[in-house]
Structure 1
Amino acid sequence: MARLCKICSPRVPGLSGLAAARRSADEVATRERVDNTRVTVLRSGPGGQRHTRAAFEVLKLWENGRRIRCKFLDGDPVVQARVQAIAKQWEAHANLTLDFVTQGAAEIRISFAEKGFSWSTVGTDALTVPASEATMNYGWLEPSTSLREYERVVRHEFGHALGMIHEHQNPAASGQIPWDKPKVYKYYAQQGWSTADVDFNIFQTYSEESTNHSAFDATSIMQYAVPDSLTVGSFAIGWNTDFSPLDVSYMQRQYPRTGAPGVVDLVLGAARHAADLASTGEVDTYRFTLTAATTCIMNTEGSTNTVLALHGPNDPGAVLAVDDDRGQGLNGRIVRKLGAGDYWLTVKHHAPDGRGAYTIGVKARRG
């Protein structure tokens, strides 16, 4: 049996919890950023017929460009300084500012009090934690701890804090790690994990839209080490201490510095807005307001294969309708009677790696 390794707590805030708490966290996430509700169009049908349906997944990403305040609740000043310096390395890859403050409110609150466990809430789940409590903990960092261990743990936990999940729970990891399950259960039991903890934190995978990458990345900073003694045959993954190329590209795609606007306001009946899905995985977000009940036609135009989703009223997490190809060519088109209130439209490319220009507009249907 391999020596016990120090990894995230099995009960990581934001990765586990009651269904009601998860629903509350989902609401917070979609208030922070409309496109945290990602829409995937699925097509299936008997006899070659195509039926369009949609799957939804709530991510926990911060608003792009956001200043995220971080504060230490306790700990040794030497350890605090090292954690801060390494955490801020994420700023080179994401359009976010980690602002370490000593007083007042903070979204990320860091403690060292829970010895033996390191963990972090995932992205916007930090906003659901009472203001007096930690959202991140480092349970074994000391002034004498090696720089390599600081880099491994701090980069990993701040990856969670910015919205990343564990890489071995990427659905693309299914079948890639030949786990010897009885040995895995026995191994983690020595760290106080139950069978349910292991199932939830090791074997359970997320849906496609919530993953860090489109392919399994064994070199990700979010990947646990996998000892050869816990797998069938000869297979192991060592300790990752640096950002992988896919870690960097994921953060750049989710928090781009250029090419992805914030929420754009549309006006009913106004001229169409020209836009561009300039990077892979980009989701463009629009908002419009109705002062009275109106039957609206919402559509994209152009040569780009777009997926159009309607959110609201007054709740960006509520998806009212999704369309892929009902407009001209490969464009999305939604016609719906809507009451007074605020609404949002999100536009993405049908292909995960697709790009292209399009226009979007909202108008009232005549008659």
Structure 2
Amino acid sequence: MAHTCKICSPYVSELRKGDEAASDEAASLERVDNVRVTPIRVGGLRASAAVEKLKLWENSRTIRVRFLDGLPEVQAKVRDIAKEWESLANLTLEFVDTGRAEIRISFEEKGFSWSTVGTDALTVGSSEATMNYGWLEPDTSQREYERVVRHEFGHALGMIHEHQNPAALGKIPWDRPKVYAYYAQQGWDEDDVDFNIFQVYDEDSTNHTTFDPTSIMQYAVPDALTVGSFAIGWNTTFSPTDADFMRRQYPKNAPAMTELTVGGPRVTADLASAGEVDAYHFSVPQAATFIMTTEGPTDTVLTLHGPNDRGAVLAWDDDRGRGRNARIVRKLQAGEYWLTVRHKQAASTGSYSVGVKKRN
């Protein structure tokens, strides 16, 4: 059976145009820092910001998983390999036999294996599959089980195909006519190939590292499909970059969302791991102008979300506070608001404090 991975996230493909809004809403309701701001500087001056729209689950969450069909011995192999992700991400995969489940696995679509990406699973009807394994049988090799299950659960936890990483642009010398012909033999049309192979994600739609050809999320690239001599084999194990990346997205011992009291004491915190984003919530009982600040030695980026919508970016700041700190002054209407704090440099850590007060 061909090792095909047919449209691993059908709910963001051309098959479901118009569902992007539902996808973004599900992600922002799950986790406020699924919308992240990164300042862009031109000539040393603040010019604008890039907004990353992620599909990560709430950190430390228990995600329920249920099989819709399949042989018990195949299910057991899938379950055992899927649980390996718990050692990399601060998540629990709880396999249930009945009732609600965020991830629902089928084996019915033969010849194709795919998964929705992260919180896109929440946009799928409760009786429908969010993941499919189309060629796993009792006698399938253990190596192939490991390759495909690790890959599809990577998608389910929010990872994209590595060759569609924005940093992969131009890194693989594809021979496009040969790629189209190769995948046509597996039932793909040119639109399928463009979506699954050639199209990279926008810089502002995903968190990403440098291109990692050893990632479990990387398709094999046969030498026959490239110009010159270039090939990538079928990866079956987690790469060091996979492990580091997912630990940053789902850090252990990360604080839960903290409540801020307007005019109350400042909250002291640490960005203890690279890529960490801390989230805070506060309420505004009536319209007024508020001052939101970070203080301390760390170069922070402060983002204000709301009102009453965790996915809406209302304002952000990089360095209008003291030193390298952030400061937002904004008139706010009555409602619920959230602040997120991240380090300006994704790989850096540091301590800070955050507070909100009403301007006199």
TM-score normalised per structure 1: 0.95
- CA drift at 1:207: 3.2
Could you say which residue in structure 2 is the equivalent of 1:253? 248
User: Cα distance 1:308–1:212, how it changes in 2: closer, same or farther (>3 A)?
Assistant: closer
Could you say which residue in structure 2 is the equivalent of 1:28? 26
* SS, match of residue 243 in structure 2: helix
- CA drift at 1:159: 0.5
State yes or no: 1:236 paired with 2:231: yes
Could you say which residue in structure 2 is the equivalent of 1:325? 319
Could you say which residue in structure 1 is the equivalent of 2:310? 316
Spell out, residue by residue over 1:290-310, the C-alpha distance to the aligned partner (whole angstroms, 9 max, x if none). 111121000101121111110
Is 1:27–1:317's contact at 8 Å kept on the other side of the alignment? yes
| Residues 272-283 of structure 1: pairs in structure 2 closer than 5 A | 272-283=266-277
Could you say which residue in structure 2 is the equivalent of 1:42? 40
Is 2:2–2:186's contact at 8 Å kept on the other side of the alignment? no
TM-score normalised per structure 2: 0.97
55, 58, 71: which is aligned to 1:60? 55
Could you say which residue in structure 1 is the equivalent of 2:188? 193
Could you say which residue in structure 1 is the equivalent of 2:178? 183
5, 13, 20: which is aligned to 1:8? 5
User: Cα distance 1:339–1:188, how it changes in 2: closer, same or farther (>3 A)?
Assistant: same
Could you say which residue in structure 2 is the equivalent of 1:361? 355
**Gaps in structure 1 of 5+ consecutive residues:** none
* SS, match of residue 153 in structure 2: helix
Is 1:167–1:212's contact at 8 Å kept on the other side of the alignment? no
**Gaps in structure 2 of 5+ consecutive residues:** none
Is 1:65–1:95's contact at 8 Å kept on the other side of the alignment? yes
Spell out, residue by residue over 1:2-51, the C-alpha distance to the aligned partner (whole angstroms, 9 max, x if none). xx84121136324424442011111010100000001111122xxx4623
Given residue 71 of structure 1, which amino acid in structure 2 is its aligned partner? Answer: R
Spell out, residue by residue over 1:213-233, the C-alpha distance to the aligned partner (whole angstroms, 9 max, x if none). 421111100000000000011
334, 337, 343: which is aligned to 2:331? 337
Given residue 197 of structure 2, which amino acid in structure 1 is its aligned partner? Answer: I
Is 2:115–2:132's contact at 8 Å kept on the other side of the alignment? yes
CA-based RMSD of the aligned residues comes to 1.4
User: Cα distance 1:40–1:207, how it changes in 2: closer, same or farther (>3 A)?
Assistant: farther
User: Cα distance 1:15–1:151, how it changes in 2: closer, same or farther (>3 A)?
Assistant: farther
Could you say which residue in structure 2 is the equivalent of 1:304? 298
* SS, match of residue 193 in structure 2: helix
Given residue 306 of structure 1, which amino acid in structure 2 is its aligned partner? Answer: T
149, 158, 166: which is aligned to 1:154? 149
Spell out, residue by residue over 1:146-205, the C-alpha distance to the aligned partner (whole angstroms, 9 max, x if none). 000000000000000011000001111122211111111111122222222212211111
User: Cα distance 1:210–1:245, how it changes in 2: closer, same or farther (>3 A)?
Assistant: farther
Spell out, residue by residue over 1:60-97, the C-alpha distance to the aligned partner (whole angstroms, 9 max, x if none). 10001111110000011110111001111111111111
Cα distance in 1 between the residues matched to 2:8 and 2:342 = 34
Could you say which residue in structure 1 is the equivalent of 2:86? 91
198, 211, 219: which is aligned to 1:216? 211
* SS, match of residue 219 in structure 1: coil
- CA drift at 1:329: 1.0
Cα distance in 2 between the residues matched to 1:257 and 1:14 = 30
Could you say which residue in structure 2 is the equivalent of 1:125? 120
Cα distance in 1 between the residues matched to 2:204 and 2:245 = 12
State yes or no: 1:134 paired with 2:134: no
Is 1:213–1:246's contact at 8 Å kept on the other side of the alignment? no
* SS, match of residue 61 in structure 1: coil
- CA drift at 1:353: 1.1
Is 1:7–1:224's contact at 8 Å kept on the other side of the alignment? no
Is 2:52–2:206's contact at 8 Å kept on the other side of the alignment? no
351, 355, 362: which is aligned to 2:345? 351
